[in-house]
Amino acid sequence: MDRLSHIQSMSRQSRRGKRAAAALLTCSLAAGLATGMTQPTRAGALAAKGDLALSHAKTGAGPAAVIVALDGGLTPARQAQIAALGGAITQRLPFIRSVALRLPSRSLDRLAALPFVRHVSLDGVVKKNDAFTVGSSLDNVAFQQYGLTGAGVTVAVVDSGIHQQAQDLQTPTLLGLLAGLLGGGSRVIDGVNFVADATGNVNPAATDDLCGHGTHVAGIVAGDGAASTGPQYSQTFYGIAAQANLVAVRVLDQNGQGSVSTVLAGLQWVVQNQAKDNIKVLNLSLGHPVCDTYVNDPLCQAVEAAWKAGIVVVCAAGNDGRVNSVQASGTDNEGWGTNYGSIQSPGNDPYVITVGAMKQEDTSRADDLIATYSSRGPTPGDCTLKPDIVAPGNRVISLDVKGSTLDTAYNGSNQIPLSTYMYLNKKKGAQTSDLYFRLSGTSMASPVVAGAAALLLLQNPNLSPDTIKARLMISADKWVNAQGMGDPCTYGAGYLDIPAALQSTVTVPAGSYALSPLLVMDDQGNVNIAMDPSVYGSRAIWGSRAIWGSNITDLRAIWGSTAVAGSGALLDASRAIWGCSTLSASRAIWGSRAIWGSSAAVAANRAIWGSSGPGVDLSATAINGEN
């Protein structure tokens, strides 16, 4: 079976398994469709060309916001046909041959029937995926041993904006710091805003961060610790690539939310300005529940376009790794239950580097654990093995924006005492820092890896995105759970190890790809890590011993010996992936009860659709983390 047939088969199984629960499927329908809708659109062109969210949408007189993939360009004649349906174009997205538009919901089926329309996706809502622990990422070793700071490499942060006056984001000189105080000298060298203000106007220059999420992410990537450096400080909060340049692409509002089309506009801007700003890395600490195969998902197509343009794209896996809303007794994900199949878009795309979150237990890296909220693979529908790697993401200390939404959330419970990093508090009456605070989530783990990519590119500017991905994955510490079992759907290739990645000499040949592999089940119930040549090409690298060395089994080098059974690429589904010998793999992921089936380990309304669309996580867990 080729990859497309496999995807179509999985899609048919999922629809059979969940028709009775269609009312629960809520992939941000409120953001794209009016509340007064009545009859479901299940037939005709929309059913054939629409994503699953639109297939379950209700039609009516209210407006719908959609993203339309075109077969060819948008000619005046085609634009007139769209206008005749009541459609108004809100974003032109030529880099993925698409447009975003609004039109009456009743016109959706007729829109899909137009011969030049390839696919229609809901323009849902995206959200963020919410003492920086350099010891767990080992970036301090990277600086001490290699002298690498990221200087000269530019990382685009597509998020809620960046507060460019932050002291830790200035040029690393006294003159630069003084210039920063006067409004210049920032290492945020460029930026653009796509978010409308309260009056509906979009000021492209309004890139300041009203949410606080993007600045926190930027500090993890490139904060230089200037505001916590000196004899009065007991510790300094460095970012991973502490002298890298940044580009602020604001696509999320003060609440950490935005539309898919706004994010697409931001990604298109990054690709268009890649050469001017020397953008080498792009961080996306945001996402939305998977509503379609990555082949059609507009966000996935956009990150692929950036990747193919030569930009390393790093995405948060998502914070949907828990099944239960209340912690119970038991060892399964510390009593929360493990929500397999909960990777968010665009982290479900096989090109990009998808990052899960780890949490530190104490000063030793060896006893670090996966954060219970970190989303697990495989990806819904496509069954791609994700995440690719894990990195520190729990209770991360980074830059605060005073007065921002996250600064004041939950009564400031994420603020840190000044005593955390100062020997002597000279600020009379002040007990907490107004420069740094804590956030948690895969949103915080993703920029750790983005910073690592910047260091690799400083070491060798000619590395391709695929080589960067391969080096990070093959060099990662192969991690196991408390029972000593590997779980690639939780840890991916393992725990980020920056010094080991810098020592790696793996090179992906031109024309080869480091795409995340597919998982398929054989007749004996084992799960194969498979590379489909019809999709990945005959030179996809994971099966190449020339890449990994002749003295090791190909896949053991990446995912670890405890995760790969036997001498081949087989995973024992009941143990290596799920960590529970009593769980039937055919019930958990494949067969007549697909990953979102009625008896599956994953609840459809949580893992596939979620309770909201794309954006960032403002939950108490994202603010305060977990112990």
Q: What is the dihedral of CA 128, 133, 137, 140, to 10 degrees?
A: 130
Choice among 139, 159, 332, 572 that is catalytic: 159
- Integer Cα distance of 531 and 321 in angstroms: 26
Q: CA-based Rg of the chain, rounded to a whole angstrom? A: 23
Q: Where is 101: in which H helix or E strand?
A: strand 98-104
Choice among 6, 119, 163, 213 that is catalytic: 213
Comparing C-alpha atoms, which of 161, 94, 237, 89 is closest to residue 405?
161
Comparing C-alpha atoms, which of 365, 135, 127, 111 is closest to residue 238?
135
The residue with tokens 């999320």 is 252
Is 497 designated active site? no
Residues 6+ apart with CB under 8 A from 37: 57, 58, 59, 60, 62, 105
Please spell the DSSP secondary structure of 102-165, one letter per residue. Answer: EEEGGGHHHHHHSTTEEEEEE--EEEE-----HHHHTHHHHHHHH----TT-EEEEEES---TT
The residue with tokens 């000196």 is 230
Cα separations (Å) of 553 from 400, 479, 520, 541, 561? 46, 17, 19, 13, 9
For residue 345, list its beta bridge partners: 288
For residue 543, list its beta bridge partners: none
Identity of the amino acid at 35: T
- Integer Cα distance of 66 and 63 in angstroms: 10
As a whole number of Å, the end-to-end CA separation of the chain is 45
Is 443 designated active site? yes
Please spell the DSSP secondary structure of 555-609, one letter per residue. Answer: THHHH-GGGSBTTTTEE-IIIIITS-TTS-HHHHTSSSS-TTSTTSSS-HHHHTS
Strand ranges inside 295-450, DSSP E: 312-316, 353-359, 369-370, 389-392, 396-399, 415-417, 432-439
> Within a 10 A sphere around the Cβ of 362, how many other Cβ atoms?
8
Is 466 designated active site? no
Choice among 342, 404, 433, 443 that is catalytic: 443
User: What SS3 class is residue 186?
Assistant: strand
Burial, 147: exposed, middle or buried (Cβ in 10 Å; 0-12, 13-18, 19+)? exposed
Identity of the amino acid at 510: A
Comparing C-alpha atoms, which of 550, 578, 623 is closest to residue 486?
578
> Within a 10 A sphere around the Cβ of 551, how many other Cβ atoms?
7
User: What SS3 class is residue 415?
Assistant: strand
Q: Where is 63: in which H helix or E strand?
A: strand 63-70
β-strand 279-284 against 312-316: which pairing, if any?
parallel
Q: Tell me the backbone φ, ψ of residue 286, rounded to 5 degrees.
A: -150, 170
Comparing C-alpha atoms, which of 137, 219, 156 is closest to residue 437?
219
- Integer Cα distance of 432 and 468 in angstroms: 39
Residues that are catalytic = 159, 213, 443
